[in-house]
C-alpha cells in the first residue's frame, strides 16, 4: 500500500480586519527539516503507515494563524501545489488530508469541500480518502459523500491532534484492506457556540463517545462544534457518525448523539464576565494566580491580539502584580530590542489594527527580557508537545504588570510565553491570556481559578452579538428550542 498525506489549514474569521495571504502561511515541503512537534498529525500518519510496512509520501502542509479570508491567489496556489504533488505520487492507495474545516477563501466559502472534491477527481473512486479536521469546523454533506472517513479532534483544548490522526489512519487502513466499509452520516444540532471539553457535562460525554468507538459497528463519532466567527451558510454544530457498512445505523447514531449534544446547550452556554466583573472576582481571590481569558482578542480565532481594553483597565485600577500575554506589536518589539534589556522607554503599545483593538496606550516601560525567535511547547496526549513559534518576543514591565509582546501573532498556549521571558507565573496574582481555551491545558495546573471574559474584540464571545448575515439563525441561542 502507498499512502499520500498533505493539507492546507487555517480557521477563517470572516469578521477579522486582516486578510490571510501567502506570507501568513508556514509551508512545509518534503525536503524541509523541521523540529519535532511542528506537524504532529503528519508525523502520526507516517509512523502508523510505517508500522504497517507501507510506503508513505508526505506531499506538503501549509498552515496559517487564523485571521480573515484567505486571498484567492494564495488559496489556489497552495491547493494546486498540493494537488500537483498528489498527481506526481500517483498511483496511491490512500490519501490522508490534514485540513481545518473552517477555511474560507475569496471565491470559496468552503475550501475543504473543494480540496476533497479535487483529490477525488485525481485518485478516482477506489482510493480511500481520510480527512482529519479541527472540531471548530463545518462538515458538509458533499464532504461526507466524497471522502471515506472524516475524524475530528474531540478535545478543546486540542490536545488530541495525533491521537485522532491515528484513529483516522486505522479506519482508513482497515477500509483499504477490505476489512471494513465506512459509512458516514451527519445530524444538524441547530446550535452555535464554543464548547469546552474539560468541563461537565461535556467531559463525560466525550469520554462516552470514545468508549462507544470500535464496538457494535461504530467506527467513529465526532462532535462538530462549528466555528462561530465564520459567516458562511454551513456554520452550525453537528454530530458525525461513522459505522461499518450500515448507513441507517450511522444516521441513527448521529441523530441520537446530536440530540443529546443539543440537550446540553444551556449548560454549555457559559455567560462570560465583563472586564470589571473579571477583575473584581480576581482581586477578591486571596490566592492566585487567577487566570483571566480575554477570549475576544484570541489570535487563534482570528483576532489581531493587540487590543488594549484589559491592559488599560488593569493599569487604571493600579493592579501591580500581573502578567498579560500575548500582545502582537512588531513595532514595539523592534523598539524594545533596540533599547535592550534594562532600557526604560516611552512606548506606544497595541491598539493598531482597528476599532476592535481599542486605542494605543502610551506607556513608560522597562524592558526586562528579550528572546529572539521564541517558541512555546503545547502539551499533547500523544507524542511530542506541539512546537509553536512566537517570533521575537519581549517582556515590558509597566507599574508591576509584565506585558509579553511578540512579533508573530499567536495565543499563549502554555506558560512558556511568560517563563521564557523570566516571569515567575506562580508569583503573579493575575495572569491575563488572550486565548479562548487552548491556554487551559498549560495554565489549569497552576491557576487558583480560571475566569472567562468578554471584552470587546474580533472574537466576541456573546454569540448573539456576532453580526451574521449569511447563517440561518433558527438555532440556539437565537431560538430557545429550535426543534420545537
Ligand atoms: Zn479549533
Check whether residue 261 and residue 284 sit in a common domain: no
Q: How confident is the model at residue 185 (pLDDT cuts 50, 70, 90)?
A: very high
pLDDT band at 8 (very low <50, low <70, confident <90, very high): very high
Q: Give the three-class secondary structure for 119.
A: helix
Among the listed residues 75, 58, 85, 44, the one whose alpha carbon sits nearest the alpha carbon of residue 2: 58
Distance 234 CA to ligand 1 centre (A): 16
Cα(138) to ligand 1 centroid in Å equals: 11
Shared-domain flag, residues 282 and 174: no
Is 257 in the same domain as 282?
A: no
Residue 322 to residue 400: CA distance in whole angstroms: 7
| Res 406 pLDDT > 90 | yes
Ligand 1 center–CA 65 separation, angstroms: 11
> What is the pLDDT, as a whole number, of residue 19?
95
Tell me the average pLDDT across 17-43: 94
d(CA 137, ligand 1 centre) in Å = 8
* Span from the CA of 130 to the centroid of ligand 1 (angstroms): 19
Task: Please state, rounded to an integer, the average pLDDT across all residues of the chain.
Answer: 97
Going from the Cα of 66 to the center of ligand 1, the distance in angstroms, rounded, reads: 10
pLDDT beyond 90 at 383: no
Q: Are residues 76 and 213 in the same domain?
A: yes
For residue 337, what pLDDT is reported? 98
The pLDDT value recorded for residue 382 is 86
The rounded Å distance from CA 233 to ligand 1 centre is: 19
**Ligand 1 center from residue 162 Cα (angstroms):** 14
Contact 386, 161 (CB under 8 A): yes
> How do residues 315-372 score in pLDDT, each as one tens digit?
999 999 999 999 999 999 999 999 999 999 999 999 999 999 999 999 999 999 999 9
Last residue of a domain, one of 234, 251, 268: 268
- Same-domain check for residues 262 and 288: no
The torsion region of residue 181 among left (phi > 0), alpha (psi -120 to 50) and beta comes to beta
CA of 158 to the centre of ligand 1 (A): 7
Alpha-carbon span 344 to 457, nearest angstrom: 30
Q: What residues contact residue 131 under an 8 Å CB cut-off, 6+ apart?
A: 96, 97, 99, 112, 116, 143, 147, 149, 150, 151, 168
Query: Can you read off the three cell numbers belonging to residue 200?
Result: 461537565
Rounded average pLDDT over 434-444: 96
253 CA distance to ligand 1 middle (Å): 24
My answer on whether omega of the bond before 91 falls inside 30° of 0, hence cis, is yes
Q: Which long-range contacts (CB under 8 A, 24 or more apart) does 466-471 make?
A: 466/15, 466/228, 466/229, 466/231, 467/15, 467/231, 468/231, 468/235, 469/231, 470/231, 470/232, 470/233, 471/192, 471/231, 471/232, 471/233, 471/235, 471/236
What is the CA(410)–ligand 1 centre distance, in A? Answer: 14
Q: What is the 3-state secondary structure (H, E, C) of 312-333?
A: HHHHHCCCCCEEEEEEECHHHH
Query: Rounded mean pLDDT of 291-298?
Result: 97
Which 8-state DSSP code applies to residue 105?
B
Task: State how far the alpha carbon of 116 is from the alpha carbons of 57, 95, 120, 141, 258, in Å.
Answer: 18, 10, 6, 12, 25
Let me know if residue 469 belongs to a domain: no
pLDDT (mean) for 387-399: 97
The predicted structure's pLDDT at residue 408: 97
| 135 Cα–ligand 1 center, Å | 6
213/244 same-domain check: yes
Please state the three-class secondary structure of 401-424 as a single string. Answer: EEEEEECCCCCCCCCHHHHCCCCC
Distance CA 403, CA 380 (A): 27
Map residue 348 onto helix, strand or coil.
strand
Q: Check pLDDT > 90 for residue 277.
A: yes
Q: At what angle do helices 247-263 and 202-212 cross, to 10 degrees?
A: 170
Cβ-contact 294, 310 below 8 angstroms: yes
Q: Is residue 302 located within the same domain as residue 344?
A: yes
Residue-wise pLDDT for 224-245, tens only, equals 999 999 999 999 999 999 999 9
Does the structure show a pLDDT above 90 at 195? yes
Domain contains 43:
yes
pLDDT score of 374: 98
pLDDT in tens, 441-478: 999 999 999 999 999 988 888 899 899 999 999 999 99
Q: Could you give the number of structural domains in the chain?
A: 2
Tell me the residue range of the domain where 354 lies: 275-461
- Return the pLDDT at 370: 98
Cell of 438: 487552548
**287's grid cell:** 490566592
Question: What percent of the chain has pLDDT above 70?
Answer: 100
Residue 54 near residue 3 (C-beta atoms within 8 A):
yes
- Domain stop point among 207, 238, 268: 268
Residue 254 has pLDDT above 90, yes or no: yes
Question: Tell me, what's the pLDDT at 256?
Answer: 98
The upper half-sphere exposure of residue 230, i.e. CA atoms within 13 Å in the direction of its Cβ, equals: 31
Q: Report pTM.
A: 0.95
- 198 CA distance to ligand 1 middle (Å): 14
* Alpha carbon distances (Å) from 147 to 112, 128, 131, 170, 293: 11, 7, 7, 15, 37
Q: How remote is the CA of residue 301 from the centroid of ligand 1, in Å?
A: 8
- For residues 235 and 286, state if they share a domain: no
pLDDT, position 460: 81
The verdict on residue 477 lying in a domain is no
pLDDT, position 291: 98
The residue out of 236, 268, 300 marking a domain boundary is 268
For residue 140, report the distance from its CA to the centre of ligand 1, in Å.
17
Average pLDDT over residues 195-220: 97
Sort residue 288 into left (φ over 0), alpha (ψ -120 to 50) or beta.
left
Quickly tell me which residue has 457535562 as its cell.
201
**Residue 451 CA to ligand 1 centre (angstroms):** 20
Query: What span, in angstroms and rounded, lies between the C-alpha atoms of 344 and 398?
Result: 10
Q: How many angstroms is it from 154 CA to the middle of ligand 1?
A: 10
CA 235 to ligand 1 centroid distance, Å: 14
Same structural domain, 186 and 307: no
497552576: which residue's cell? 446
First-to-final CA distance of the chain: 50
Q: Kindly state the average pLDDT of the residues 123-128.
A: 98
Do 260 and 328 lie in one domain? The reply is: no
Q: Which of 395, 393, 390, 405 is nearest to 367 (CA)?
A: 395
Task: Please return the burial class of 271, using the count of CB atoms within 10 Å of its CB with bins 0-12, 13-18 and 19+.
Answer: exposed
> Which grid cell is 204?
463525560
Q: What's the CA-to-centroid distance between 421 and ligand 1, angstroms?
A: 27
Q: What is residue 39's predicted lDDT score, i.e. its pLDDT?
A: 94
Confirm if 78 and 112 have CB atoms less than 8 A apart.
no
Instruction: Give the CA distances from residue 25 to residues 7, 113, 116, 413, 448, in Å, rounded to whole numbers and listed in that order.
Output: 12, 20, 20, 19, 37
In-domain check, residue 479: no
Amino acid at each position: 500500500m502507498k499512502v499520500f498525506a498533505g493539507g492546507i489549514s487555517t480557521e477563517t474569521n470572516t469578521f477579522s480586519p486582516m486578510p490571510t495571504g501567502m506570507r501568513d502561511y508556514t509551508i512545509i515541503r518534503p525536503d524541509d527539516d523541521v523540529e519535532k512537534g511542528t506537524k504532529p498529525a503528519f508525523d502520526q500518519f507516517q509512523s502508523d503507515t510505517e508500522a504497517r510496512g507501507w510506503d508513505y509520501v508526505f506531499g506538503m502542509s501549509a498552515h496559517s494563524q487564523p485571521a480573515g479570508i484567505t486571498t484567492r491567489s494564495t488559496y489556489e496556489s497552495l491547493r494546486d501545489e498540493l494537488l500537483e504533488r498528489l498527481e506526481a505520487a500517483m498511483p496511491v492507495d490512500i490519501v490522508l488530508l490534514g485540513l481545518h474545516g473552517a477555511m474560507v477563501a475569496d471565491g470559496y466559502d468552503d475550501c475543504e469541500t473543494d480540496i476533497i472534491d479535487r483529490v477525488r477527481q485525481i485518485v478516482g473512486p477506489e482510493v480511500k480518502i481520510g480527512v482529519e479536521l479541527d472540531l471548530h469546523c463545518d462538515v458538509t454533506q458533499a464532504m461526507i459523500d466524497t471522502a471515506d472517513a472524516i475524524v475530528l479532534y474531540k478535545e478543546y483544548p486540542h490536545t488530541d491532534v495525533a491521537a485522532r490522526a491515528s484513529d483516522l489512519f486505522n479506519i482508513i487502513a482497515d477500509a483499504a484492506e477490505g476489512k471494513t466499509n465506512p459509512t458516514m452520516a451527519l445530524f444538524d444540532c441547530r446550535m452555535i457556540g464554543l464548547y469546552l471539553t474539560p468541563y461537565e457535562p461535556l467531559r463525560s460525554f466525550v469520554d462516552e463517545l470514545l468508549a462507544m468507538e470500535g464496538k457494535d459497528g461504530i467506527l467513529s463519532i465526532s462532535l462538530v462544534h462549528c466555528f462561530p466567527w465564520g459567516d458562511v451558510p454551513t456554520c452550525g454544530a453537528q454530530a458525525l457518525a461513522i459505522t461499518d457498512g450500515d448507513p441507517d445505523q450511522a444516521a441513527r447514531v448521529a441523530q441520537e448523539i446530536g440530540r443529546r449534544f443539543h440537550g446540553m446547550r444551556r449548560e454549555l452556554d457559559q455567560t462570560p464576565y465583563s472586564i470589571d466583573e473579571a477583575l473584581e472576582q480576581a482581586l477578591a481571590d486571596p490566592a492566585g494566580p487567577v487566570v483571566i481569558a480575554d477570549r475576544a482578542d484570541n489570535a487563534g480565532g482570528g483576532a489581531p491580539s493587540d487590543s488594549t481594553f484589559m491592559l488599560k483597565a488593569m493599569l487604571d485600577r493600579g493592579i501591580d502584580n500581573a502578567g498579560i500575554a500575548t500582545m502582537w506589536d512588531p513595532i514595539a518589539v523592534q523598539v524594545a530590542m533596540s533599547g535592550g534589556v534594562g532600557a526604560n522607554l516611552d512606548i506606544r503599545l497595541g491598539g493598531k489594527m482597528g476599532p476592535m483593538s481599542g486605542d494605543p496606550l502610551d506607556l513608560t516601560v522597562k524592558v526586562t527580557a528579550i528572546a529572539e525567535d521564541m517558541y512555546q511547547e503545547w502539551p499533547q496526549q500523544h507524542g511530542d508537545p506541539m512546537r509553536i513559534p512566537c517570533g521575537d518576543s519581549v517582556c515590558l514591565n509597566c507599574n508591576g504588570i509584565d506585558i509579553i509582546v511578540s512579533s508573530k501573532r499567536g495565543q499563549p498556549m502554555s506558560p512558556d510565553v511568560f517563563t521564557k521571558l523570566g516571569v515567575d507565573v506562580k508569583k503573579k496574582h493575575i495572569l491575563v491570556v488572550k486565548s479562548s481555551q487552548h491556554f487551559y491545558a498549560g495554565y489549569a495546573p497552576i491557576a487558583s481559578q480560571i475566569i472567562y471574559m468578554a471584552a470587546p474584540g474580533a472574537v466576541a464571545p456573546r454569540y448573539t452579538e456576532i453580526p451574521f448575515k449569511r447563517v440561518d439563525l433558527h438555532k440556539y441561542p437565537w431560538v430557545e428550542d429550535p426543534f420545537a
